[in-house]
Amino acid sequence: MTDRYAVIGDPVAHSLSPRIHAQFARQTGQALSYDAVEVEPDVLPVALQALHEQGYRGLNATLPHKVAVMALCEAVSERAQRAGAVNTLIRTDSSWRGDNTDGEGFISDLHRLDYGVSGRRVLVLGAGGAVRGILEPLLAAAPAELVVSGRSPWKPEALAEQFRPLGTIRPSTHLALKGDRFDLIINATSAGHGGEAPRLPGQLLADGGDCYDLSYGKAFAPFRAWAESQGAARIADGLGMLVGQAAAAFELWRGVRPDTAPVIAALRQG
Ligand SMILES: NC(=O)c1ccc[n+]([C@@H]2O[C@H](COP(=O)([O-])OP(=O)(O)OC[C@H]3O[C@@H](n4cnc5c(N)ncnc54)[C@H](OP(=O)(O)O)[C@@H]3O)[C@@H](O)[C@H]2O)c1
C-alpha cells in the first residue's frame, strides 16, 4: 500500500503542501500520497487519532493547529519546544512525535539565496510565532548583532529572555530603531496580509543590505515596495522557506532530502 501523508488545517484548501510533496515524491522516486484534510479545532484530538488509525505515516500541521498539536504528541523535539509550535508529525506505534521544520526551512532558504548572516547586523521585524521558529537557527549562524523589533516592547523582550541561553538578542520597538543600520532585514510580521508594511524609521538598511519577507504571494507586495524604496540590494519572499520547511519534513519521513530549487521555480510559474 502507498504510504499516506497529509496536511491538517482549517481552512486547508489553499495549502500548497500537496503540490510541493507530490513534486518531492516524483523527484525522489518515492511512492506516497499526500492529502489536505480539513480539521476543525474542537475535533483535533479525535482527528489525530483517526488519521493514525487510518495508517497515515506523517502529517503537517498548519493554522490554526500548530500550537494545539504540541500537547497531543507523545514527544516533542527541543527545537519545536523552543518554537512553541509543531508543524511536522511523525507516526509512532501508538501516537505522534512532533517536530518543527520552519526554522530549518528558513535558514536553508537564506543559504540557497546566498544571503549571509555570519558577521552581519540582522534585524527581525515582528515577535509572533514565526519569529520564535527562526531565532534558534539565526543565532546559530553567528550574526554580529541580532535585533528583534515589535510594535510594543513586551514580546521582543520576552523573546530575548527566552533565547538568552542560545545567544544575545537586542529587543526593540520599531520606533526606537531610529539611527540603527542593518545588513539584513527580515520581515516576520503578518502586516502584509492587511496590505501594509510595518511602520519603520527611514534609513535602516545599510548600503548593499538585503531584505527577506517570510510572507509570499500578495502579502509580500507591501514589504517588497518598502525594501525597494530603501534601495535593498536583494529582496526575497518566503516561498523558498515554505518549500524548505516541507523538504525538511519530507526528509524526516522518508530519509531523503529533495532539491527545493525546481519546486520553487514550478510554484512561481503558477
Ligand atoms: N514562508 C513560510 O513558510 C512562513 C511560515 C510561517 C509564517 N509565515 C508568515 O510569517 C508572518 C508571521 O506569521 P506568525 O505566525 O508569526 O503570525 P503571528 O504569530 O500572528 O504574529 C504576527 C506578528 O506580526 C505583527 N504585526 C501584525 N500586524 C502588524 C502591522 N500592521 N504592523 C507591524 N506589525 C504587525 C504582530 O505584532 P503585535 O505582536 O504587535 O500584534 C506580531 O508580532 C505571516 O505573514 C505568515 O504568513 C511564513
Task: Supply the CATH number for residue 163's domain.
Answer: 3.40.50.720
Same domain, 142 and 222: yes
Same domain, 111 and 214: yes
Task: For ligand 1, say whether the CB of 240 is within 6 Å of any of its atoms.
Answer: no
The span from the CA of 112 to the CA of 129, in Å, is 23
Same domain, 157 and 214: yes
Task: Supply the CATH number for residue 56's domain.
Answer: 3.40.50.10860
The span from the CA of 224 to the CA of 29, in Å, is 37
Same domain, 166 and 54: no
The pLDDT tens digits of the residues spanning 114-129 come to 999 999 999 999 999 9
Same domain, 136 and 113: yes
Same domain, 109 and 227: yes
Same domain, 116 and 210: yes
Same domain, 34 and 155: no
The span from the CA of 114 to the CA of 233, in Å, is 12
The pLDDT tens digits of the residues spanning 48-86 come to 999 999 999 999 999 999 999 999 999 999 999 999 999
Same domain, 96 and 111: no
Closest CA to 191 of 176, 204, 174: 174
Determine which residue's CA is closest to atom 18 belonging to ligand 1: 128
Percent helix, percent strand, percent coil in the chain, to nearest 5: 45, 25, 35
Is 47:17 a contact under the CB 8 Å cutoff? no
The span from the CA of 247 to the CA of 229, in Å, is 33
Same domain, 90 and 153: no
**Known catalytic residue: 178?**
no
Same domain, 252 and 187: no
So what's the pLDDT on residue 1?
73
pLDDT beyond 80 at 28: yes
Mean pLDDT of the chain: 97
Average pLDDT over residues 159-174: 98
Is 241:235 a contact under the CB 8 Å cutoff? no
Instruction: Given the residues 66, 155, 178, 218, select the one marked as catalytic.
Output: 66
With the most atoms of ligand 1 within 8 angstroms of its CB, the residue from 186, 189, 212, 218 to mutate is: 189
Task: For ligand 1, say whether the CB of 189 is within 6 Å of any of its atoms.
Answer: yes
Q: Residue 117's domain spans which residues?
A: 104-237
Task: For ligand 1, say whether the CB of 238 is within 6 Å of any of its atoms.
Answer: yes
Is 238:220 a contact under the CB 8 Å cutoff? yes
Provide the domain count of the chain.
2
Residue owning grid cell 519534513: 249
Average pLDDT over residues 217-232: 97
pLDDT beyond 80 at 35: yes
Same domain, 70 and 114: no
Ligand 1 atom closest to Cα of 245? 3
Task: For ligand 1, say whether the CB of 241 is within 6 Å of any of its atoms.
Answer: yes
Ligand 1 atom closest to Cα of 66? 15
